[in-house]
Structure 1
Amino acid sequence: MKKTNKPMETGLSGAESVIERIFFNHRPLLIVLMAALTLFFGYQASTIKPEASFEKMIPASHPYIANYIQHKDDLAGLGNAIRISVEHTEGDIFDKDFQQTLQQIHDEVFYIPGVDRANLISIWASGVRWNEVTEEGLTGGPVIADTYDGSPEELEKLKTNILKSGRIGSLVANDFKSAVVYAPLLDKNPETGLPIDYQEFSSQLEELIRDKYESDSVKVHITGFAKVVGDLIDGASQVAVFFAMALVITLVLLYAYSRCMRSSVVPLLCSVIAVIWQLGLLKTLGYGLDPYSMLVPFLVFAIGVSHGVQIINAIGHESAKGAGKELAARLAFRALYVPGIIALISDGVGFATLMVINIEVIQDLAVAASMGVAVIILTNLVLLPVLMSYTGVSQKSVKKQQHIEEHGKHPIWNLLSGFTQRPQAALLILVALGLTAMGLYQSQDLKVGDLDAGAPELRPDSRYNLDNAFINENYSTSTDIFVVMVQTAKDKCSNYQTLDTVDQLQWRLKQLPGVQSANSLVNVTKQTMSGYNEGNIKWLGLNRNQNLLNQASIGAPRGSFNADCSLMPVFVYLNDHKAETLDSVVNEVEAFAAQYNSDDITIKLAAGNAGIEAATNIVISKAQYEMLIWVYSVVGILCLITFRSVRTVLCILLPLALTSLLCQALMARLGIGVKVATLPVIALGVGIGVDYGIYIYSKLETYLKSGYSLRDAYFNTLKTTGKAVAFTGLTLGIGVGTWYWSPIKFQADMGILLTFMFVWNMVGALVFLPALASFLIKRKPVASEKSDAGSEGSKHNDKAEAKVSHA
């Protein structure tokens, strides 16, 4: 073939010819325009900040959350809060210097913007009181007396007051070696009116509390949603390091693949531009990046590389047959524009199906991923071939490609093309059925929610999880609080019937494994009634005399009931917030409510961090299958519209479905639960994997329409598109596999799952797709099939590919 730079448009439809002319006849203008957009979006991206919101993490429309929001003002401090445990490592808390440090920490926390100061409590809060019965009646006062001066006498009095306060196990450790400052948080920073910046808030806790007050004798332990998110954001900043590692790995492998630095740098450049555009668009439209969507830019980069490799591979293929720079770029664009658009639309719509999950952080992730896919259409399907029309492919790369085309034996391609034959295909389908059976069996153990104590998003040996373990080991009231709301008529929360019902509920809950204790107005009333009778344990029960019950409830601590005594919270302290623990509590409370709810009393779920987690698990459990149905339905419809064949849709989707099932089995095997952080992975994996199937089948169909046998058509497909798919799957798998060493556990988990999906989607497209095609695609009579003489890179093969390229 003679080299020529004259574009060849023979056989193109009018619409495709127009699109190609628009882009390639105005290349300088297009490059300038995209450069300007890159500068603008680059500036916007430079101002984007990591952010997180407690409200975005919860399913706002779920009935449990609706109940919590309805009574939020009456349940101050039972949602988003931090707990600071100050430990005296050289003795107990009854030490003058330690108490001075605890007071300073209490005061320091009071002035941190975003803390709900009215509900801040510790033994240094005036609202924390002690009570006792004397010969003269009930008496009491603040735990820290007005006369406190740090003297031994006052410290002894403090110890006595704490024993009388009933706060051991909650504000004071069971071994008296540490004490807690409990700080509920507001939704917004009152100084700025903006949502709390959790990264800044976490930094303030470190600088103003831990760094300032920790010493050889004092150790600080901090837990709570704000601290988890702050640590995640700090750790997720290392995503940039792993992104750079993936960039370098991809560059090295691309060069090894193409032997052309231009063909390696340009697709990477266009993929990075796609990431810049995505981040800039997010900022321009008012979105931010939370810890759970920080991985999306890498996915955008991965998808961009996937499509870029296809373009580069096609350009190299055309250049090897003698096409000039511009012609090779045009032919590559012409061959891949339609399947590329279809694949990216499938990606985008597949990601958009995450919007059906009514948790705002997942919906934001769906928006971010969909935006990223949309910009790839311009950066990698349009800008990349336009830039390559100027740079071209190096002669070294062209000669390598020509050598492969003319003399290569292609043993791997011969092996894979053999899977289109019925005997081998039948064996592969049996293997797939066996894997399906194994996946179904293993995925039965897949759990919804967290499967580890503490914050599963962080490593078990992270500072946060060590702090959380310390509090759980040394306090009776754990950091995992499940709150049941008992609603009555006004002034009826202390009625005997109400208290007796709650007493029964508490007894049933305390029998459950995983429940440490349960506490409510009932406990206060019982203790007060016993106190009225000189502490006699025979009176440690509910008296049917309503006047006595009313009197006993008057002195209950703040938070035991609301202002008009129409709501009573029941605090259930759990060993952890694992899925099975939460499920057992939810089932018990719902069964109890079904039995005892009436016109006079209504038992509602749920508040507290564990109650909110339970609601989230319920939404995730339902949404995971709903999301899969939407993803596969949408992708299937788009493939059906494109290829107009149900058989083709099955060839593309069945390997993807197998990968999704095996991914769920892997999650069950590794102990990774389905939750906010992991649920989107399956949808993202399907979105990326469908690209492989669409590209391969589109090329395969082109050869089949030219009259070649299925084996020869697939052999030619493997030499071009299939080679690029194999390279992309392995390269991206290696790049994302580096996340395994991330200090953030959920990022490491994502690395494992995405590596598995990248590689298995590639295997599915290269191995299982042709096996399915051998049974599902209608065969032409043998006499009409063209042969490639063994498919060993013969001249006849080259002629066939030339015919297809110009068709």
Structure 2
Amino acid sequence: MKSAPLPIAKTPDIFDPRSGSLIERALFNHRLLVVILCAVVTALLGWQATKLSLNASFEKTIPAQHPYIQNYLQFQGELTGLGNAVRIAVANPHGTLYDPTYLDVLRRLSDELFLLPGVDRMQMKSLWTPSTRWVGVTEEGLEGGPVIPDGYDGSPASLEQLASNIARSGEVGQIVALDAKSTVIYVPLLARDTQGHTLSYAAFAKHLEALRTKYAAEGVEIHITGFAKLVGDLIDGVRVVLMFFALAVMIATVMVFWYTRCVRSTLLVVTASLIAVVWQLGFLPTLGYVLDPYSILVPFLVFAIGMSHGAQKMNGIMQDVGRGMNKLVAARFTFRRLFLAGLTALLADAVGFAVLLVIDIQVIRELAVAASIGVAALIFTNLILLPILLSYTGVSAKAAARSLRTETADAAGAAKHPLWIFLDRFTQRRMATVAVTAAVVLGLAGFTISTQLKIGDLDPGAPELRPDSRYNLDVAFMNASYGASSDVLAIMVRTPEGGCAHYDTLNKVDALEWQLRQLDGVEATNSLALLNRRMLAGLSEGNPKWYEFLPNQDMLNTVTAGAPRGLYNDSCNLLTLYVYLRDHKADTLTRVVDHVEAFARNNDTKEVKFLLAAGAAGIEAATNIVVKDAWRQMLFLVYGAVVVLAFIAFRSWRAVLVAILPLMLTSVLAEALMVALGMGVKVATLPVIALGVGIGIDYALYILSVTMAQLRAGKNLSEAYYRALLFTGKVVMLTGVTLAIGVVTWVGSPIKFQADMGLLLAFMFLWNMLGAMILIPALAHFLLKPKSPGGLTSAAVASMPVKADSELAMTCATPSTSGR
């Protein structure tokens, strides 16, 4: 038989400071020291945060350990035009490229680009670079030379010679437009400049924009594509996103104040959450990290999580003060009630981020580290510092009384609020059955739709930006004007030393090339085998009957000797087969990669091997494979960790099911929403999928922890859930709606993937909140409902940790236990 609950102390005079856990005593008995230490840390890390830079790295966005990337890195120095590069198309809007004024502008622009820091000058290519050459068949045999003729002076004769050279260069569709109205300057980039400094993409993109503005004033149109320019545009967009972050802070502040009507507590909750952001941003440069466009969302998520937990602490203190407790006692009791639930929830958040470390992409791993640092900071700022600060400041007396308005009305016999009456119905069999059935139907429908979720990009151009962005318009111009797409997948063919021209090897390359050209999505190919076909026809007066690949080794050797080095390397032990794709959509990449892998299995020998992959499309194909493998593994790990943490908190497998099943429904529906929004699983979206699980468990932990404590105290499910709604449920709804409103403003972002993330996160915040409000009581009806009035099932009681009666009295104190 349980003894009567002990009275709750109202003033420090009758409160024993030696009560509570060791952690509570260490913190609250030395409050001033804790505040001073936090202030010092905030000042130091705030100063460190001023050193944080915003940049990106091409190497960090690729899965460095994947076999495709390992092959690419092994031969990177011998591959031409297949790494990190920008393509700059210079168009003449008033004529063709055979214009002396246009060619002079092109020359000067090419020279300026050549001198920019970070440019791989040996590999740069334009009409004016000596490496751009022509080869032709004359009566005297093969002849060649630079495309720009010797002694070029802009005269009609020189322009006529230039046109002849371009026609024989094979560059039409490569660096010369099909309509001859523009040419491309190909600018490969180094990871570090000549001084050894990491290439600043933001600075490089600014240089490009300055050159665009300068030469556009001279009558040409300039279109720029490539990773460096994309990152520059993303960084520009990120600066706009910072305004959305400020807007989200304002919205959260207004919503919390609207709920509390207490200025001091509202400011403290917001301040504590912002301090965690400062700590996070301060730790990043200390550990050698930078912010990039993919991790720019993390500070907001840390702030959002902090607001959720901070509002719970503030609400608990406010209610206890309203019951007549001293502010210090109220702060300690709230800490005692909610610290374990808050700590478990934050650990679940941290696990949601930490599992991203299994993904072999450095930019995601750095995001995981940054987010984990932020969550660790929240343990100190929101679970510890905030209650201590509130123990000094207290809350407004009017706000405290207002927080108990519903409870006071109950004590007076007034009717319950209509919303509480509605939610309470889900603890009854009829509505619980309806809710669970609806969840099952939604889950099945969502799962059916989610099976159509694709891996990788689903749109042409850069899906990170909007379709009408300048970058994507430039991509569209390139694709329309040049036969060779910028989406290039390169297949490396490794041969014995000096064996790249052997007939058997080139014959296999020729066969693979023909097969690839039959695939949907492949627009063109290029290789040494194709050059041999063209040269044979050219040496035969252009007769198409001779467009053939002949078993003539002398002929192959002759053609190879004069072939561009981009088709093979200096040691003649590596051939490159270029595959120009219509786009880089997931289906296109998968189709081509699967075909090449099947061909390699059937045709590889000990000496000759077909290796994937280089080029922008090849790297993206490898990234898609890594993301696909990590996707389900990540969800398995995060759910496994959350299950373990929930079991530690509740010690009941039934309670774990009640907490986890709504999260699983949210995950399924979020994937279905991604299908509806045309989003694929990729580097930008993968973290959000894991995040939905980590943040979603917060709501369940707060609702269930109070509900189960009330069940143990002898309440039936309806009354226990009602007490949970009054104590934590109101704040769960507040934070869910507030955070959803904050992130949905991102739809106005110029960065499309951030706009998509705003919609996805808003959905997750709202749906996790609804799951906590509706599905948890419905599932509890079937899994946690007591077999007899006033108690849990015997198994659930046996599995729950024993608590003192005094702690039960403190947990969600009611009028009868607070001495009112």
Q: C-alpha distance in 2, partners of 1:101/1:783?
A: 87
Aligned to 1:6: 12
The one of 88, 95, 98 equivalent to 2:99 is 95
Asked if 2 retains the 8 angstrom alpha-carbon contact of 1:120 and 1:183, the reply is: yes
Asked if 2 retains the 8 angstrom alpha-carbon contact of 1:8 and 1:327, the reply is: no
Look up the SS of the partner of 1:734 in the other structure: helix
Displacement of 1:683 after TM fit?
A: 0.8
Q: C-alpha distance in 1, partners of 2:261/2:786?
A: 39
Displacement of 1:92 after TM fit?
A: 0.5
Q: C-alpha distance in 1, partners of 2:612/2:647?
A: 45
The one of 586, 601, 607 equivalent to 2:593 is 586
Asked if 2 retains the 8 angstrom alpha-carbon contact of 1:9 and 1:17, the reply is: no
Asked if 2 retains the 8 angstrom alpha-carbon contact of 1:655 and 1:768, the reply is: yes
Look up the SS of the partner of 1:565 in the other structure: coil
Aligned to 1:768: 775
Q: C-alpha distance in 1, partners of 2:354/2:33?
A: 32
1:454 lines up with 2:461 in the alignment: yes
Question: Which amino acid letter does the alignment assign opposite residue 597 of structure 2?
Answer: E
Higher mean displacement: 139-148 or 532-541: 532-541
Q: C-alpha distance in 1, partners of 2:202/2:402?
A: 51
Q: C-alpha distance in 1, partners of 2:465/2:491?
A: 28
Aligned to 1:801: 814
- Structure 2 vs 1, CA of residues 771 and 214 (structure 1 numbering), >3 Å: closer, same or farther? same
Asked if 2 retains the 8 angstrom alpha-carbon contact of 1:704 and 1:710, the reply is: yes
Look up the SS of the partner of 1:782 in the other structure: coil
Displacement of 1:513 after TM fit?
A: 1.2
The one of 443, 446, 470 equivalent to 2:477 is 470
Aligned to 1:155: 159
Q: C-alpha distance in 2, partners of 1:553/1:799?
A: 83
Look up the SS of the partner of 1:130 in the other structure: strand
Look up the SS of the partner of 2:373 in the other structure: helix
1:204 lines up with 2:211 in the alignment: no
1:497 lines up with 2:504 in the alignment: yes
Q: C-alpha distance in 2, partners of 1:167/1:210?
A: 24
1:18 lines up with 2:25 in the alignment: no
Asked if 2 retains the 8 angstrom alpha-carbon contact of 1:706 and 1:804, the reply is: no
1:521 lines up with 2:528 in the alignment: yes
Look up the SS of the partner of 1:642 in the other structure: helix
Once the two structures are superposed, residues 494-528 of structure 1 have per-residue CA deviations (whole angstroms, 9 ceiling, x without a partner) of 11111111111111111111111000111222222
Map 1:241-256 → 2, pairs under 5 A: 241-256=243-258
Map 1:346-495 → 2, pairs under 5 A: 346-407=348-409, 409-495=416-502
Displacement of 1:2 after TM fit?
A: 10
- Structure 2 vs 1, CA of residues 194 and 679 (structure 1 numbering), >3 Å: closer, same or farther? same
Displacement of 1:133 after TM fit?
A: 1.2
Asked if 1 retains the 8 angstrom alpha-carbon contact of 2:268 and 2:386, the reply is: yes
Displacement of 1:138 after TM fit?
A: 1.1
Displacement of 1:17 after TM fit?
A: 2.9
Asked if 1 retains the 8 angstrom alpha-carbon contact of 2:9 and 2:15, the reply is: no
Higher mean displacement: 298-307 or 379-388: 379-388
Asked if 2 retains the 8 angstrom alpha-carbon contact of 1:77 and 1:185, the reply is: no
Aligned to 2:189: 185
Displacement of 1:542 after TM fit?
A: 1.9
Question: Which amino acid letter does the alignment assign opposite residue 525 of structure 2?
Answer: A
Q: C-alpha distance in 1, partners of 2:742/2:14?
A: 38
Asked if 2 retains the 8 angstrom alpha-carbon contact of 1:122 and 1:180, the reply is: yes
Q: C-alpha distance in 2, partners of 1:419/1:312?
A: 28
Higher mean displacement: 628-637 or 419-428: 419-428
> TM-score, normalised to structure 2's length?
0.94
Map 1:66-81 → 2, pairs under 5 A: 66-81=70-85
Q: C-alpha distance in 1, partners of 2:543/2:607?
A: 32
Displacement of 1:442 after TM fit?
A: 0.8
- Structure 2 vs 1, CA of residues 439 and 13 (structure 1 numbering), >3 Å: closer, same or farther? farther
The one of 620, 628, 640 equivalent to 1:633 is 640
Asked if 2 retains the 8 angstrom alpha-carbon contact of 1:170 and 1:477, the reply is: yes
Higher mean displacement: 32-41 or 623-632: 32-41
- Structure 2 vs 1, CA of residues 78 and 797 (structure 1 numbering), >3 Å: closer, same or farther? closer
Once the two structures are superposed, residues 346-403 of structure 1 have per-residue CA deviations (whole angstroms, 9 ceiling, x without a partner) of 2112210111111111111111111111010100111111111121111221232243
Question: Which amino acid letter does the alignment assign opposite residue 571 of structure 1?
Answer: Y
Question: Which amino acid letter does the alignment assign opposite residue 198 of structure 1?
Answer: Y
Displacement of 1:642 after TM fit?
A: 2.0
Aligned to 1:597: 604
Displacement of 1:599 after TM fit?
A: 2.3
Identity of aligned residues (%): 52
Asked if 2 retains the 8 angstrom alpha-carbon contact of 1:7 and 1:327, the reply is: no
Map 1:146-295 → 2, pairs under 5 A: 146-191=150-195, 193-207=196-210, 209-215=211-217, 217-295=219-297
Question: Which amino acid letter does the alignment assign opposite residue 541 of structure 2?
Answer: E
Displacement of 1:626 after TM fit?
A: 0.4
1:571 lines up with 2:584 in the alignment: no
Aligned to 2:802: none
Unaligned runs of 5+ in 2: 1-6, 411-415, 793-808
Asked if 1 retains the 8 angstrom alpha-carbon contact of 2:706 and 2:811, the reply is: no
Asked if 2 retains the 8 angstrom alpha-carbon contact of 1:405 and 1:798, the reply is: no
- Structure 2 vs 1, CA of residues 752 and 47 (structure 1 numbering), >3 Å: closer, same or farther? same
Look up the SS of the partner of 1:534 in the other structure: coil
Aligned to 1:307: 309
Aligned to 1:132: 136
Asked if 2 retains the 8 angstrom alpha-carbon contact of 1:739 and 1:747, the reply is: yes
Q: C-alpha distance in 1, partners of 2:706/2:818?
A: 10
Aligned to 1:698: 705
Asked if 2 retains the 8 angstrom alpha-carbon contact of 1:270 and 1:304, the reply is: yes
Aligned to 1:549: 556
Higher mean displacement: 346-355 or 114-123: 346-355
Look up the SS of the partner of 2:814 in the other structure: helix
1:118 lines up with 2:122 in the alignment: yes
Q: C-alpha distance in 2, partners of 1:799/1:206?
A: 60
Aligned to 1:338: 340
Aligned to 2:801: none
The one of 34, 37, 57 equivalent to 2:41 is 37
Once the two structures are superposed, residues 243-288 of structure 1 have per-residue CA deviations (whole angstroms, 9 ceiling, x without a partner) of 1100111111111100111121110000000000001011111111
- Structure 2 vs 1, CA of residues 422 and 299 (structure 1 numbering), >3 Å: closer, same or farther? same
Displacement of 1:7 after TM fit?
A: 7.4
